[in-house]
Amino acid sequence: MKTRERKNNWITGCLCALTAEILYGLSFVFTKNATENASALSLLGWRFCIAFFVMSLLAATGVIKINLRGKKLTPLLAVAMFNPVLYFIGETMGISRTTASESGIFLACIPVASLAASALLLHKKPVKAQICGILITLTGVLITVLAAGTSSSFSPAGYLCLLVGVICYALYCVSVEKASDFSGIEITYAMLACGAFVFILLALAESGLKGNVSYVLSLPFHDTGFCIAILYQGLGCSALAFFLSNVAIARIDVNRTSSFIGISTVVSMIAGIAVLQEAFSMCQLIGAAVILAGVYTANAKS
């Protein structure tokens, strides 16, 4: 019975991790032009506002169950602070100060950072297959990113922000495992609540300084592309993908979940070629194949 339960947990966890990365990868198509008329903070503010509103509505109507009574909230707050708050701030500021290839290389290191955090903080020694799989995936992501160009901005501040983002994502993964008293829905709800609070305040502060608060508040109602982007990011990436990631970490642990992160790179590349008619090279195709080989290597033994 225990063997069957373990197998079901493994299948569920892998499917959740895979689906989450597909959702993250497809967000590229929906947000490609969304920031042309709005800042990254405006996008984040609206994204988490919609996600939190929908989740609150589902909780109020009893569709989802959230019960935090009698539970120590510190582990839950740690999860929410590392991701989305600190991770998105580091990622957004880092990407804005560096080139696409540089930011891609930094963010490709997330699985390695997660592996190290799991070993150091959770004392979970990864098996050789997981280490090999994640390193192969990292190689594939680097090949794919570098195929797009190797321009350099040399921005120490940008590199530092990206490094903070990578570390915070790894600590988020570890924190989810520590928050075992909470369900995946409860963890996701806390993440959305913190994200909405912080990014709405930052978006309003930014728009206040620029004197365009009314424009930002009305943006989804007169910009169809922006509206579609925040709906997809809010419901698809923030609500659903966050929940799936949290379930995956709980079912198959940090190390195995991290091995799926490169899938989003493959999906975004395929989506760019198929939907946005972007050019692709043989190096990108090789990189995608290497990423898939890495994911298979990390999970094949199971």
Q: 274-296 burial by CB neighbour count: b if 16+ within 10 A, else e? A: eeeeeeeeeebeebbebbbbbbe
3-state secondary structure of 301: coil
Lowest mean pLDDT, pick from 38-52, 59-73, 94-108, 209-223 = 94-108
pLDDT score of 173: 95
Task: Kindly report the average pLDDT of the chain as a whole number.
Answer: 89
List, in order, residues 6 or more apart from 38 with CB less than 8 Å away: 216, 219, 223, 226
3-state secondary structure of 170: helix
Q: What is the DSSP letter of 127?
A: P
Q: Assess if residue 9 is contained within a domain.
A: no
Amino acid identity for residue 258 in this structure = S
Amino acid identity for residue 144 in this structure = T
Q: Assess if residue 126 is contained within a domain.
A: yes
Nearest CA to 101 out of 42, 143, 65 is that of 143
- For tokens 């790894």, the residue is 170
pLDDT score of 281: 79
Confidence of residue 155 (pLDDT cuts 50, 70, 90): confident
- For tokens 């390193």, the residue is 135
Amino acid identity for residue 147 in this structure = A
Q: Assess if residue 8 is contained within a domain.
A: no
3-state secondary structure of 1: coil
Q: Quick check: 234 pLDDT over 90?
A: yes
Q: Assess if residue 2 is contained within a domain.
A: no
| Three-point CA angle 194, 230, 73, nearest 5° | 15
Q: Assess if residue 59 is contained within a domain.
A: yes
pLDDT score of 148: 67
Element at 203 (helix H, strand E): helix 184-210
Tens of pLDDT, residue by residue over 162-201, are: 999 999 999 999 999 999 899 999 999 999 999 999 999 9
Q: Quick check: 301 pLDDT over 70?
A: no
CA distance 276 to 91: 24
Q: What phi and psi, each to the nearest 5 degrees, are found at residue 281? A: -120, 170
pLDDT score of 273: 82
Q: Assess if residue 228 is contained within a domain.
A: yes
Q: Assess if residue 3 is contained within a domain.
A: no
Q: 183-206 burial by CB neighbour count: b if 16+ within 10 A, else e? A: bbbbbbbbbbbbbbebbbebbbeb
Q: What integer is the mean pLDDT of 159-163?
A: 93
Number of domains observed in the structure of the chain: 1
Which domain range does residue 127 map to?
Answer: 16-299
Q: Assess if residue 174 is contained within a domain.
A: yes
Q: What integer is the mean pLDDT of 40-68?
A: 94
Q: What integer is the mean pLDDT of 144-165?
A: 81
Q: State pTM to two decimals.
A: 0.90
pLDDT score of 165: 95
Long-range contacts of 267-274 (CB under 8 A, 24+ apart): 267/21, 267/22, 267/24, 267/25, 267/26, 268/25, 268/26, 268/27, 268/28, 268/29, 269/144, 270/25, 271/25, 271/26, 271/28, 271/29, 272/28, 272/29
